[in-house]
Amino acid sequence: MSQGLLAILFGAIFVNNILLMRFLGLCPFFGVSTRFSTAIGMSSAVLFVMTFATWITWGIYQLVLVPGSVLLGGILPQGLVFLRTVSFILVIAALVQLVEMFLKKTVPVLYSALGIYLPLITTNCAILGVAFLVIDNKFGFLQGTIFAIGTAFGFGLVMILFAALRERLELAPISKSFRGYPIAFIAAALVSIAFLGFTNMFGISP
């Protein structure tokens, strides 16, 4: 696929927004988007881990798992593609722990800001989802990086938009059975309709 980098970037942020169009990473979306500050913390942690995870999983797939790969091509000509799911999830889990330890030692300021969000990210389906999508779309290294960064920005954009919305919803007089999740879903539906307007921007459809 030889999409332009700009199209990949804006496609990932707006047209195929990870939360509203692809439905990945909804747990932090509904769980953490209640406050502006937590939404920002979570989004920066996602940006950080998503980029790293995409690099590592892309490298593993292209160097080890793919048929005829550089490292194992001589021994296993059929490749190890069937190990994709298990290797990616284990690598992401290990990566998150490593990033956590590294930040704790070297950048304590950043650690104190992102600390509590990092462990949550292991089970965040957005990270693993982006790793799979980069492989499925046959992106190269640069395209994959741009895609991961764009996706993380799209995640952050909607998280922050939604945090502002929900801070107001808390004060609104909402009928009892609609409080909490139901009204959050309906607000998400409205924001999602707005994002439908980006369809066919740069000739990309969801």
> Are 31 and 106 contacting, i.e. CB atoms less than 8 angstroms apart?
no
CB of 86 to other proteins, least distance (A): 4
Q: How far apart are CA 118 and CA 124, in angstroms?
A: 10
Instruction: Pick the stretch among 52-60, 65-73, 90-98, 162-170 that binds other proteins (CB under 8 A).
Output: 90-98
Please give the DSSP secondary-structure letter assigned to residue 78: T
One residue of 26, 56, 113, 204 binding other proteins per CB under 8 A = 26
Answer yes or no whether residue 25 interacts with other proteins by CB under 8 A: yes
If one asks whether residue 129 binds other proteins (CB under 8 A), the answer comes out as: yes
50-69 residues near other proteins, rule: CB under 8 A:
none
Distance CA 28, CA 43 (A): 10
Q: Which residues between 166 and 185 bind other proteins (CB under 8 A)? A: 176-185
Minimum CB–partner distance for residue 196 and other proteins (Å): 7
CA-wise closest residue to 20 among 194, 205, 174, 143: 194
C-alpha Rg value of the chain to the nearest Å: 19
Q: Which of 186, 200, 201, 205 binds other proteins (CB under 8 A)?
A: 186
107 phi, psi to nearest 5 deg: -125, 75
44 binds other proteins (CB under 8 A): no
SS3 content of the chain, % helix, strand, coil (to 5): 75, 0, 25
User: Which of 4, 70, 82, 141 touches other proteins (CB under 8 A)?
Assistant: 82
* 32 lines the binding site for other proteins (CB under 8 A): yes
Q: Using CB under 8 A, list all residues that contact other proteins.
A: 20-28, 30-32, 38, 82-86, 89-90, 93, 96-97, 116, 119-125, 128-129, 132-133, 136, 176-186, 188-190, 192-193, 196, 206
